[in-house]
Structure 1
Amino acid sequence: MKRARLYQQLAPEAREQIGLSVINRVICALILLASLTAILETEPTLRDRAPGLFMALETLFVALFTAEYSLRLYAVGEDPRYRGLKGRLRYIFSFWALVDLIAILPYFLGFLSHNNAFLLRLLRLTRMLRLARLGRFSQAWSALADALKSRSHELWLSAGVAGLLLLFSSCCLYVVEAAAQPEAFGSVPRALWWSIATLTTVGYGDVTPMTALGKLFAGLTAVAGIGLIAMPTGILAAAFSDEFQNKRGK
């Protein structure tokens, strides 16, 4: 019975009442605090003033998350899918269990890369992945996954159209601009950077066509970029609307 109560406290899907349990609310607060600490630690002035504070806080967070992970591994046996040794192994390699593990691993990997500044920075940012753990406690994440799954065909189609537009515009600019700007448009891969910036309507302006024909193709590409962005946006908006309406109707 104790394990059953613990499972109801830790697993949102096993809870009969609406809302999160007290334990899961505390876990959410710890995730936000740990992420905020990881952000502040990247500021050298703060890190130099209190070098031991951030390490102590990270050790505390990892200890709490490790205890939570162990309790989840113990309590998940209440779910018929994860009973026994094989069930526990299946749970360990499930999506949310792997996300939980990623929240802990950077702390221990940091000791192995203590003398590598790049890896240390990377591991500090990896701790921001802890925010993904909040998805376990939100029905919106499941609605997002269901919406993406229901419109996967349309999204893949829009991605294919985007790829063709990128390739076509890159080829066109390579043909008309390569002679005038070989550094920027001397090959299709080089022209691809300009196509990406233009079709996504970012428009950095670091590379621009100079010839009249190149400017004509650039204008057509920019107009096509508006439709390129609108296509998946409309698909996702309709999918989210349908999914949330379905959930309200249940």
Structure 2
Amino acid sequence: MTLRKYLHQQITIGSWPDGRLTGLNKLLICMILAAVLVGVVSTEPVILNEWRSEILIAEILFGAFFLIEYLARIYSAPEEEGLGSPWGKRWRFIRSPIGLIDLAVVLVSLAPFFIANAAALRLLRLMRVFSLAKLGHFSAAMREILTALKERSYDLLVCAALALSLLLVGASGLYWLEGDLQPDHFGSIPRALWWAVITLTTVGYGDAYPITAAGKVVGSFVALGGVLLVALPTGIFAAAFSDAMQRRREAVARALAEIENG
């Protein structure tokens, strides 16, 4: 086995028939989570002032680690299945969404050493949460979930259409009933839409609310409809997740059976 093929198997999820995580995969996950944790806590001035040197060392280590990982993925890209020249496959990885995320994480990790502006540094540290997106490398199940959601795109579209219709009906009702009484909040349908969204999602900030009996009736229907509409996509997502996990278990079982029989 060549070094490139071995490296590809170690850093790419799905290279093993049972989909298990390699030791390097687990190390990468730990480094991603640690980088995000450091990026989050370093936005607290008290912690940053007390642990500035340690945080700087950690950022150097994270930046170097993610740079090495990024270069390793480019180096091992020719081992990906499919047609194309080695450099063509490398270029395809660099341009892919996950490749661009990897590059962004590397740049964000190393940028503080080249930018002196304090405000920019705080923003870059906050952007370290991009590291979480790299976990997509290690979750074949996520691909299954996205596939299941695409299969239910029509159901989700229907839910979105129902929600939009209820928002427009509620906003129009309050505009008609209380537009003259509360012009700041309900003087137009776009203004009333803010109230409709907050009511539909059951957040209820309290900055805008109906004051007439008819307006309260409309608000009640919007609130009750919101409870029902929130439950619909939740059920769709749950069913999609269940189907995805079942397909994943079946795929792993088939792979193990082929190994045992072969």
Question: TM-score if structure 2 supplies the norm length?
Answer: 0.88
Unaligned runs of 5+ in 2: 252-262
On the 8 A contact 2:141/2:248 being kept in 1, the answer is no
Deviates most, 10-19 or 127-136: 10-19
SS at match of 2:14: helix
Q: Which residue of 2 aligns with 1:162?
A: 163
What residue number does 2:209 align with?
208
Residue 76 of structure 1 contacts residue 83 of structure 1 at CA under 8 Å; is this kept in 2? Answer: no
Match of 1:97 in 2: 99
Amino acid at match of 1:142: R
Q: Is the 2:174–2:186 contact (alpha carbons within 8 Å) kept by the matching residues of 1?
A: yes
The aligned residue for residue 21 of structure 2 is 20
The aligned counterpart of 1:176 is 177
Question: Structure 1 CA distance, aligned partners of 2:197 and 2:114?
Answer: 38
Number of the residue aligned with 2:148? 147
AA aligned opposite 1:201 = T
1:45 aligns with 2:38: no
**How far is 1:63 from its partner?**
0.7
| Counterpart residue number, 2:132 | 131
Q: Deviations over 1:38-77 (max 9, x none)?
A: 1110111011123233222112101110001001100111
108-117 vs 22-31, greater mean Cα deviation: 108-117
Aligned to 2:109: 107
Distance in 2 of aligned mates of 1:246 and 1:84: 32
Equivalent in the alignment of 1:240? 241
How much identity, in percent, do the aligned residues show?
41
- Cα distance change on mapping 1:68 and 1:127 into 2, 3 Å: same
Q: Give the structure, 1 or 2, with the largest relative contact order (CA under 8 Å, sep 6 or more).
A: 2
Q: What is the rounded CA distance, in whole Å, between the counterparts of 2:115 and 2:196 in structure 1?
A: 38
Deviation at 1:200, TM superposition (A): 0.9
> 1:116 Cα deviation (Å)?
6.2
Counterpart-to-counterpart distance in 1, 2:196 and 2:114: 41
Alignment gaps of 5+ in structure 1:
none
Q: 1:114 to 1:132 in 2, by over 3 A?
A: same
Other-structure match for 1:84:
86
Contact 2:156 2:233 in 1 (8 A): yes
Q: Per-residue displacement from partner, 1:165-190 (whole Å, max 9, x unpaired)?
A: 11221111111111111111112121
The CA RMSD over aligned residues, in Å, is 1.9
Which whole-Å CA distance do the structure 2 matches of 1:109 and 1:160 have between them? 43
Counterpart-to-counterpart distance in 2, 1:80 and 1:20? 19
Total equivalences in the alignment? 249
Q: 1:244 to 1:50 in 2, by over 3 A?
A: closer
- Output the amino acid matched with 2:33: L
- Structure 2 CA distance, aligned partners of 1:114 and 1:162? 47
2:11 corresponding residue in structure 1: 10
Counterparts of 1:121 and 1:161, CA distance in 2 = 41
Equivalent position SS for 2:223: helix
CA contact (8 A) 1:92 1:98 kept: yes
